[in-house]
A and B are shown apart, each in its own frame.
Chain A
Amino acid sequence: MFYNKDDEFFKLLGDKISQVTPKQPTNGDWDSFDKAYRAHKQGNKKRKMSFLIWISILTVSLFSVYAIYLNKITNEQLSIVKPKDTKEIIKDEVSIAPFTNLEKPNLTTSEIANNKTRLLSNNKEDGNAVAKQIIQKSKIENKNRNEVNVANQNTLIETKGRIELIKNWSDLILLTSKSYLLNLSQPQLISIENRNALRTKIYTIDIDSAKNKTLKTKGKLMVNLAYVELGYLLQSNVYKQLNNSSNQYFNGIGVNAGFNMSKNWSLNFGLSALFFNQIEMNKRAFVTTEKHIESIDTTIKYNAFYKRLMMQIDTVTSEKNVEHHANNSYQNNIAFYNLPIQLRYQLGNEKRGIYGAIGITGTVIYQQETNVNNIGLFNETIQTNNNYQLLFAPTMGVGGYQKLYHNWALHISANYLKYLNGSLHQPNTLQIQTGLKYNF
């Protein structure tokens, strides 16, 4: 025990206190302590669990608040930056003022490039010196910008990120797909499909976050965090199997959402529905003779999607007949509901080309509804068949788009599909696709 030697009073008092008979521990003391210690440890576990739960709740809350905050900022910025009429931009910027500090950070690279082009053309025509100044400024601003959106550091509104609504973005895909049955000894070609699809993304909501770039480059980099898109698809397939061929016309609608987990990894999931309908009406007239029976079949086909009416007359001669006259109508509605969850690793960028690997949990609900209406001489039968199939076809693939001239891109991919169930498909299929894509 230490004493302050300078203080005699405390020394004496300390000596006295140290002579207090030490209290010895009893079983009760230990039991009491042990109980408290166990309770404390149990409480720690609960606290840890509680902490994790609260952290999760907090993270979700912060994300929500952040998203709302981003939305607010974006709306403010959009109101400044994105006038509806692009012609007005050119006029205003050239005749009134160059970009202001408020406008800079919100222009995407493509917008700046477009503005620059417009300004250049205006400048040639008008010889406007202000336009030159703007172009020079744009060049400096663009120096460190890549294809993603970059917000400027010298801004009055600090950019945290944004939510952007993109309307009506379309692309056309022309694909030839060859499917092979994977046989260990020899791959066998089982089908060729030419697919032409026009995809229109009606709405795309992009959620971007602004991240600081390096000190060297300064500025802020807009990083896409997530997106939700609503799209419409028109697709025609010319499908040739070994023994038969068919033309199919689909229309479909879908919602797709994705999270960009990192620069290269993204997770996408969605719901899309493809519809195919066809109506056939057959009229059959029979001419009966003693030795043979002749029939004339009239078929009217209507493809609801293709809006095309076809009429077909066949003459059939046969030895036997069971019916004299019959009207037959046939309606076939086929729908595919796709529920894919897609994990994607991709390299490159939209400017030069995208390559990557993909894994899809291919889940398809196949629905076929067939209505057959037979009207005979003595009877009328109506049959409705509903056929549902849940198909699982996990897919792994590698491939990519190589940017070509203008908005064209070359598509090459190889996918391995493993059909886990369903008799319509071969269980192991290698699909090689080549084609072109055009972005409007």
Chain B
Amino acid sequence: MKDFTDQEIILGCIKEDSRFQRLFFDKYYSKMFAICIRFAKNEDEAKDILQEGFIKAFEGVKKFKGESSLSTWLSRIMVNHAISYLKAKNKNSFLSISENEFLVPDLPDFDNELVKELSPDEALSLLQKLPDGYRTVVNLYAIEGLSHKQISENLGISEGTSKSQLSKGRAILKKLVNSLNTYVL
């Protein structure tokens, strides 16, 4: 099959041509799934987020002005939708865990080398074990590279809460890494 440029694919999607929609879907599926799986608790949830994210993308493709690459634009849609999805899923409890809950002290003597010993799937699995709120903040801060200010704006929380969530998320992850290595050993 002929290789179409992003521009041609977009034009086809604007015309709601299902062949181009399929091309668009296939081309960005893997990359977008990688984003969704980090935010999701499991693969099924990731697929839900991905599916709804693509629907949003197809509906909003007319608004794509080419100011960024198609991949960046689509990633932003996926991340935003993942946040909305998790917020809607948790409703009142999203990022409103009481201070004492999941109170895990940070491990100052944690050895980062233990992370290197993890397989990629194990690393993902550990991230998915975090509660939705922590996982979202960790994703946005540590992987998407957002500042606490940006996170607070995105999630509608204070910067302090963002820092606190990240700190707790990190502590839980370190503990999980430790326990995993202990178990392995």
Contacts and interface: CB of A to CB of B under 8 A. Distances in A.
Given A29-B29, A34-B18, A2 B115 contact: no
Given A23-B30, A33-B25, A12 B58 contact: no
A340 B142 CA distance: 75
A21 interface: yes
A18 interface: yes
A183 interface: no
Interface stretch (A3-11, A228-236, A405-413): A3-11
A29 B21 CA distance: 13
Interface in A1-60: 1-4, 7-14, 16-25, 29-30, 32-34, 36-37, 40
Interface in B114-134: 115-116, 118-124, 126-127
B26 to A, nearest CB: 5
B37 A20 contact: yes
Nearest to B128: A17
A16 B34 contact: no
Select the residue from B21, B112, B118, B127 with max chain A CB neighbours within 10 A.
Answer: B112
Given A12-B112, A22-B31, A36 B142 contact: no
A36 B30 contact: no
Contacts of B145: 1-4
Contacts of A24: 29-30
Given A9-B112, A10-B170, A17 B127 contact: yes
Interface string A272-304: 000000000000000000000000000000000
Contacts of A40: 55
B38 A17 contact: yes
A7 B110 CA distance: 13
A25 B120 contact: no
Contact of A3 (B119, B120, B138, B143): B143
A159 to B, nearest CB: 42
Band of interface residues on B: 35 or more
A396 to B, nearest CB: 47
Contacts of B30: 22-25
Select the residue from B25, B118, B127, B143 with max chain A CB neighbours within 10 A.
Answer: B143
Interface in B37-62: 37-38, 47, 51, 54-55, 58
B173 interface: yes
Contacts of B37: 20, 23
B20 interface: no
Given A20-B37, A30-B22, A10 B120 contact: no
Contacts of A12: 112, 115-116
A37 B141 CA distance: 32
Contact of A32 (B51, B110, B119): B51
B138 A17 contact: no
A14 B29 contact: no
Contact of A13 (B25, B51, B119, B142): B142
B174 interface: yes
B17 interface: no
A333 to B, nearest CB: 68
B34 A14 contact: no
A2 B142 CA distance: 8
B94 interface: no
Contact of A2 (B29, B51, B126, B143): B143
Given A36-B51, A37-B21, 20 more contacts: A3-B143, A3-B145, A10-B141, A10-B143, A11-B142, A12-B112, A12-B116, A13-B142, A20-B123, A20-B124, A21-B120, A22-B30, A23-B37, A25-B26, A25-B30, A29-B29, A29-B47, A30-B22, A32-B47, A36-B55
Interface of A: 1-4, 7-14, 16-25, 29-30, 32-34, 36-37, 40
Interface of B: 18, 21-22, 25-26, 29-31, 33-34, 37-38, 47, 51, 54-55, 58, 110, 112, 115-116, 118-124, 126-127, 138, 141-145, 170, 173-174
28 contacts: A4-B145, A9-B112, A9-B115, A9-B174, A10-B138, A10-B142, A13-B115, A13-B173, A14-B142, A16-B115, A16-B116, A16-B123, A17-B123, A18-B34, A20-B37, A20-B124, A22-B31, A23-B33, A23-B34, A25-B26, A25-B30, A29-B29, A32-B47, A32-B51, A34-B21, A36-B51, A37-B54, A40-B55
